[in-house]
Amino acid sequence: MDSQRRTVASPPSSQGRDSTAILFTFLSFFVVVAMVLVPAASPSFQNTLSILHQVPEGHVGVYWRGGALLKTITEPGFHLKMPFLTQYEPVQVTLQTDQVTDIPCGTKGGVMINFEKIEVVNRLHKEFVFETLLNYGVGYDKTWIYDKIHHEINQFCSSHSLQQVYIDVFDQIDEKMKDALQVDCTRYAPGIEIISVRVTKPTIPNSIRRNFEQMEEERTKVLIAIEKQKVAEKEAETMKKMAISEAEKNANVSKILMEQKLLEKDSTRRQEEIENAMYLAREKSQADADFYRVIKEAEANTLKLTPEFLQLKFIEAIANNTKIFFGDKVPNMILDQRLLGNLLHEVSTGTTTIGKSDI
């Protein structure tokens, strides 16, 4: 039963073998052609033929199919696509510098000059890649940077003289170009950001350049003379400040010395006042003491003036007298001791009635 139900595979027909052979031959031919043509082909053609492709760092991958831009945006790394039908291009989304060279322009006075190189640092934001490439293609920077720089430089030169372009406002060209580019990019291509613009010195005719060099030499001489004058003025001002400082220092020293002398005089005056007060106090005390002594002596003498004391003093005075008188009138010199004692008592008390002529 099993042997009856078992189906036996029929050998392949000659038509199937022919189709397989044709397909194999076609694939072999395709591989050979790809191996021969791809290395020698242009990058865009290689991107068209390749199946596996790599998006470098700092870029994104954009794709076209049948000439139509696809919304597919790939990140850096390896990716697959359909050969022949899908075309791939890497687009840089980091900072990049575009160099615009040989830009001729005519100034307001009709002099032709040439800017040899202008560098524009810019960046395409990742979220605006599809919109920017859809409107302006992969060469968007040619439209909004290269061609725009030529236009703006010519506009600038036509409204300024050679003196202004070459010297006076040359330092402003960078910012003016940056602002002009960014205004139009913001309006028409918002994904493009202008970071900075660097403009090199333009090339001018040799005859005019020599005139500028001579003018610069003369200007340099004038600047040197002005600087020398400023240096001389600074030196004179410095000397003046030094003299003023020295005079102020001397004045301050004199003031300090004068104050010191005044303080010394004041101290001496106070010392003399103290000494005078001490002397007055001492003299007053001495006078008071003398007065007190005299009063006490007077009181003591008053107490001493007794008849007995006066008689004693009289006797002592007579005894101390070493003179001896001789003659007939000697008895007249002897007075009554009692009368003399009364007389001395009256004299001491101030009650005597006898004048000096009576004695």
Confidence of residue 167 (pLDDT cuts 50, 70, 90): confident
**Residue that wins the pLDDT comparison between 353 and 190:** 190
Residue 352: pLDDT over 70: no
Q: Provide the pLDDT for residue 335.
A: 46
Confidence of residue 11 (pLDDT cuts 50, 70, 90): very low
CA dihedral (261, 264, 269, 270) positive or negative: positive
Tens of pLDDT, residues 133-161:
999 999 999 999 999 999 999 999 999 99
Residue 189: pLDDT over 80: yes
Mean pLDDT of 165-187: 92
Mean pLDDT of 30-47: 51
Distances (CA, A) of 245 to 34, 117, 251: 93, 58, 10
Judge contact between 148 and 139, C-beta under 8 A. no
Residue 233: pLDDT over 80: yes
Confidence of residue 99 (pLDDT cuts 50, 70, 90): very high
**Residue that wins the pLDDT comparison between 234 and 345:** 234
Q: How far apart are CA 282 and CA 287, in angstroms?
A: 8
CA dihedral (164, 168, 170, 172) positive or negative: negative
**Residue that wins the pLDDT comparison between 344 and 335:** 344
Mean pLDDT of 101-105: 93
Q: Provide the pLDDT for residue 209.
A: 79
Confidence of residue 14 (pLDDT cuts 50, 70, 90): low
Mean pLDDT of 264-289: 89
| pTM of the predicted structure, to 2 decimals | 0.51
Average pLDDT of the chain?
80
Residue 53: pLDDT over 80: yes
At 147 the three-state DSSP class reads: helix
Confidence of residue 36 (pLDDT cuts 50, 70, 90): very low
Which of 75, 79, 62 has the alpha carbon at shortest distance from 140? 62
Q: What are φ and ψ of residue 316, in 5° steps? A: -65, -40
Question: Nearest 5 degrees, angle CA 339-CA 344-CA 349?
Answer: 125
Mean pLDDT of 11-15: 50
DSSP 21-40: HHHHHHHHHHHHHHHHHHHH
Residue 326: pLDDT over 60: no
At 352 the three-state DSSP class reads: coil
Q: Provide the pLDDT for residue 319.
A: 72
Place of tokens 């790939």: 74
Give all strands (DSSP E) within the chain, no chain letters.
52-55, 59-65, 68-74, 77-80, 86-92, 96-106, 112-124, 192-199
Tens of pLDDT, residues 209-226:
788 778 878 888 898 999
Q: Provide the pLDDT for residue 341.
A: 55
Which of 58, 35, 178 has the alpha carbon at shortest distance from 124? 58
Residue 38: pLDDT over 80: no
Instruction: For residue 159, give both structure tokens.
Output: 């409204």
Which of 165, 252, 251 has the alpha carbon at shortest distance from 203? 165
**Residue that wins the pLDDT comparison between 120 and 13:** 120
Confidence of residue 290 (pLDDT cuts 50, 70, 90): confident
Which of 154, 197, 194, 192 has the alpha carbon at shortest distance from 172? 197
Q: What angle, 0 to 180 degrees and rounded to 10, lies between the N-to-C axes of helices 307-320 and 337-349? A: 120
Burial label, 258 (beta-carbon count in 10 A; 0-12, 13-18, 19+): exposed
Which of 95, 96, 53, 49 has the alpha carbon at shortest distance from 74? 53
Confidence of residue 200 (pLDDT cuts 50, 70, 90): very high
Residue 193: pLDDT over 60: yes
